[in-house]
A and B are shown apart, each in its own frame.
Chain A
Amino acid sequence: MKEIGLVLLTIIIAPIIGGLLTGIDRKITARMQNRFGPPILQPFYDLFKLFSKETIVVSNTQILYAFLFLVFNVVALVMFVLKMDLLLILFVLAFAVTALILGAMSTNSPYSRIGAHRELISVLAYEPILIAVIIGIYFVTGSFNVDDVIKYNNFLIFELPFIFIAFTYVLTIKLRKSPFDLSTSHHAHQEIVKGITTEFAGPVLGLIELGHWYELVLLLLFIGLFFAKNIVVAIIAMLLGYFLEILIDNISARLTWKIMLRLTWSIALGLALVNLIWVYIKYRLL
């Protein structure tokens, strides 16, 4: 019974937090660009407006993919809250993205297809690193379960500093922030129109937006895992991490997919590997 309550609470509260964070993001971004910026509640106004619009589509299966994107994101977040297996959560999260990619590829629009392929390249870049992060956590705590990771009696960040850096690195890709906002971007400087979401409109786009909010909350919770010993520290770390992403977003220009792939697979994967090897030796061999 308690679990069902928790699940419902998550499903209701997460988008509120996600929407607020997005609003704050837009405000901070605007201030960094010397603009006044929209009100913090603007994302909610946008979402309500999207849902009040007429449903127009290019191909009727698009609704399904947008819905699946939302569902997989919600399921992943709920699994996290229920303290299940981290790897399984990661897989579910990966398939949320897959649904979005398939949705974009299902139409014949070149913009959305390019966006879809760029998103696929992003998956290729960040997926191994996310798994490496979780394996690093496993080596230290001896468990893949969120439950045991939270109970670990030290800050994980001390054991996994490089892996944390690698994680924040791929978080930029995952949140589609500059310099890795290849598949779609919130800013006006977009060379492939709106990329992966070009052909989504109205309530269907609303579903995707909602999915993004759940995704955002889940990804920030991953940051929190590294500081899970103390909940206050964890929340501060999550907010700081998010601010860092916004800062990076605003001070960097977009890179090409090749550079992204090379950089991620060398720098981020390298960092993660170094850290992995030392915790492997420390906790498995010694």
Chain B
Amino acid sequence: MIGICYNLNSNSLSSQRERGNIGHMEYIYLSLIFIPIIVAGLVYLFNNSMFRKAIVFLMSTVLFMLMVFAILQGDKEVKLSHALNFALEYLITFADYFLLAVIFLIGLKLKNNLISLLAVLQFVLMFVFEFRAGKLEAENVFYVDHLTFIMLMLINVIGPLISIFALSYMDEHEKHLHLEKSKQNIFFAVIMLFLGAMNGLVLSNNILWVYFFWEITTLCSFLLISHDGNEESVKNATRALLLNSVGGLSFVLGIIFMYYKSGAIALSEIIKSQDSSILMIPIAFLALAGFTKSAQFPFQSWLLGAMVAPTPVSALLHSSTMVKAGVYLILRLSPVYIDTWLSKIIAILGAFTFVAAALLAIFQANAKRILAYSTISNLGLIIALSSIANVYSIYAAALLIVLHGVSKALLFLCVGSIEQGIGSRNVEDMDGIKYRMPIVAFLTLLGSVSMLLPPFGVLITKWIAIEVSTQNIVSMLEIILGSAFTVVFWTKFIGKILSDGKDTKRIEVFEGLRHLPLITISILVILVSVFMTQFTNAFVVPFFKSSFARYSGVSSRALKDMYIKDFFGFNPFVFFGILALAVIVGIILYKLLKPKRYVKVYMSCENDDNYSFRSEKDKPVEFEFKNYYFDTLAKENNITLISNIISVALIAIMFGVILK
């Protein structure tokens, strides 16, 4: 096996963490947060298509450059000048209460008292807590490490690409809806606001700020799900808001417990905390908040409902970025609780979601629901990986965040395009899509293959998951079963994308605004997998070094020289090389075996074409073959119910274990 060494010590990225206020990094971080928010305001005010396109492109470029600049500067903990800090502290505190008030009012308007009640509870708890605790400031406002970079890349590369795709998608979408007045200004404003909030969420050090941005993403999600304004979307948006409010309340409780147990309010202090046993209760509450945001069982229903939103929303919020906030929080806190009883149970919970969602995905015919279940399933795997005490497990968790984000963004956008093309999101209607919409079909194929087959990265993380989960036999069994289910539902999905259909007329024309973002994302999908080792060494290993320094398994000396050559002997270059070789040989073989004659399918020689057979009096009868959905074996609703019960039980066990 050829090992590609990539020594970190010679790399500038491993430079010592710089402390304090050197240079003017704070302005870059602030711009990453506030530029999208300002753009949101502008987009909202000027409802003009040309202006919108221009500013989205401009903002994408600026965000990308800022992100690159932030990454080049390396790990930092940044203070703000006194005046700026003071102003922001007040701004965020008041904006937070304002936000909760807005959610309260939305609850009233929707006549959903539970949402209002949860908002009031959060408001009161927050208010009493801040009133009693007094000054709750973190010394360093921004805590930026390599995990932040991973998230920043996801948000500021995939986010803008999806926004650009949305420009053409939403035009088409509104054409279908026959709106009198375009609502695109609201749509794009919320998307931009969301991007800013996500940047804030991953950059902030003060956990109260994290909570504030967390709530903004909840609100954005609500606004975007209910965007179309019909009955179903409002209903599903309400459910999303309700379940995420439960998470918000759990977050608040986590913060309060955290403060009273340890006095820490900054993430940087929390993860360096020496005595992890006293932090179990706040961590459990924060983890629960993470579960709701990442749509883990039993909170999965909001994400499934969220699929009524326009496709760019599903791609951006509900698969590649917002739901990653939950796993981000859990992975961020992982150094505190790893290798405790809590981590064992969280691993079992995450792995349970992995298997249950993969099982339910087999029953789905709706392409967006298949992708949604797959998303839930992968988020579960990330959570399980974050909680298994093993170096490779943490690597795989961080890698899967990126790999899954990129692939799923591509898949959702493709399915959205197919839906606009053929007017259906049912996979049974996708026969012959490879002739009707060849570009999108090929990209969908690439996306789904990258989720399933070697040598793409997602499979490698699943492989690592099985190998490391041998420490925890329950989650191991769940992951084994889950990976079998995963193979089944993806194969069914890919089979449909590739199958012949009666209708072969091409309906797709190349549109730059629509297809170029898709092609860019698909190139990213390939690049991330090919350079997975290098990516791990550049981003994931430094994250491990800085966050898991006190983790018992690795000595400080070993930590210093740590880098990986390959994954247990799997080198992406070698395997992609084999794949490239196989493709070349395949093309040559195709030329050699070039079909000389096309024949009809075998129907006992009673057919004139591939889609019908001759019945009595030679009358042609059309036949069709649908996928198996196993609904004769078990009922989907029963599985959902049982899974919900089990996951509630597991959460109860989680809290039971930590309460002494």
**B440-469 Cβ-contact flags toward A at 8 Å (1 or 0):** 000000000000111000010001001100
| C-alpha spacing A92/B455, complex, angstroms | 9
- Closest A residue, CB atoms, query B613: A110
With most chain B CB atoms within 10 A of its CB, the pick from A59, A63, A91 is A91
* Chain B residues, Cβ within 8 Å of A87: 463, 466-467
CB distance from B27 to the nearest CB of A (A): 47
B484 within 8 A of A: yes
| C-alpha spacing A193/B578, complex, angstroms | 35
B473 within 8 A of A: yes
Question: Is the beta-carbon distance between A58 and B477 smaller than 8 angstroms?
Answer: no
B633 within 8 A of A: yes
* Chain A residues, Cβ within 8 Å of B496: 105
Q: Identify B485's interface contact among A56, A124, A276, CB under 8 A.
A: A124
Number of interface residues of A (CB under 8 A): 62
Contacts between the two chains (Cβ within 8 Å), count: 159
CB distance from A284 to the nearest CB of B (A): 8
Q: Identify B480's interface contact among A109, A132, A203, CB under 8 A.
A: A132
| C-alpha spacing A277/B477, complex, angstroms | 11
Question: Is the beta-carbon distance between A131 and B483 smaller than 8 angstroms?
Answer: yes
CB distance from A189 to the nearest CB of B (A): 17
- Closest A residue, CB atoms, query B609: A108
Question: Is the beta-carbon distance between B491 and A120 smaller than 8 angstroms?
Answer: yes
- Closest B residue, CB atoms, query A114: B625
With most chain A CB atoms within 10 A of its CB, the pick from B470, B476, B491, B600 is B491
Q: Identify B491's interface contact among A56, A101, A138, A204, CB under 8 A.
A: A101
A198 within 8 A of B: yes
Question: Is the beta-carbon distance between B589 and A88 smaller than 8 angstroms?
Answer: no
B623 within 8 A of A: yes
Size category of the B interface is 35 or more
Contact flag A92-B454 (CB < 8 Å), given A85-B569, A98-B487: yes
Question: Is the beta-carbon distance between A94 and B470 smaller than 8 angstroms?
Answer: no
CB distance from A132 to the nearest CB of B (A): 6
Question: Is the beta-carbon distance between B491 and A98 smaller than 8 angstroms?
Answer: yes
B610 within 8 A of A: yes
Question: Is the beta-carbon distance between A108 and B499 smaller than 8 angstroms?
Answer: yes
A280 within 8 A of B: yes
| C-alpha spacing A123/B481, complex, angstroms | 11
Question: Is the beta-carbon distance between B628 and A67 smaller than 8 angstroms?
Answer: no
- Closest B residue, CB atoms, query A51: B593
Contact flag A88-B453 (CB < 8 Å), given A56-B597, A102-B498, A131-B483: no
Question: Is the beta-carbon distance between A273 and B594 smaller than 8 angstroms?
Answer: no
A199 within 8 A of B: yes
Q: Closest 6 interchain pairs by CB?
A: A105-B495, A109-B601, A127-B484, A57-B595, A113-B625, A131-B480
Which B residues form the contact surface with A (CB < 8 A)?
431, 452-454, 459, 463, 466-467, 470, 473, 476-477, 480-481, 483-485, 487-488, 491-492, 494-496, 498-502, 568-570, 578, 582, 585-586, 589-590, 593-603, 610-611, 623, 625, 627-628, 632-633
22 A–B contact pairs at CB < 8 A? Answer: A63-B589, A94-B487, A98-B452, A98-B494, A102-B491, A105-B495, A105-B499, A106-B498, A106-B499, A108-B431, A108-B601, A108-B610, A108-B611, A108-B625, A109-B610, A110-B603, A113-B499, A120-B488, A120-B492, A123-B484, A204-B593, A277-B473
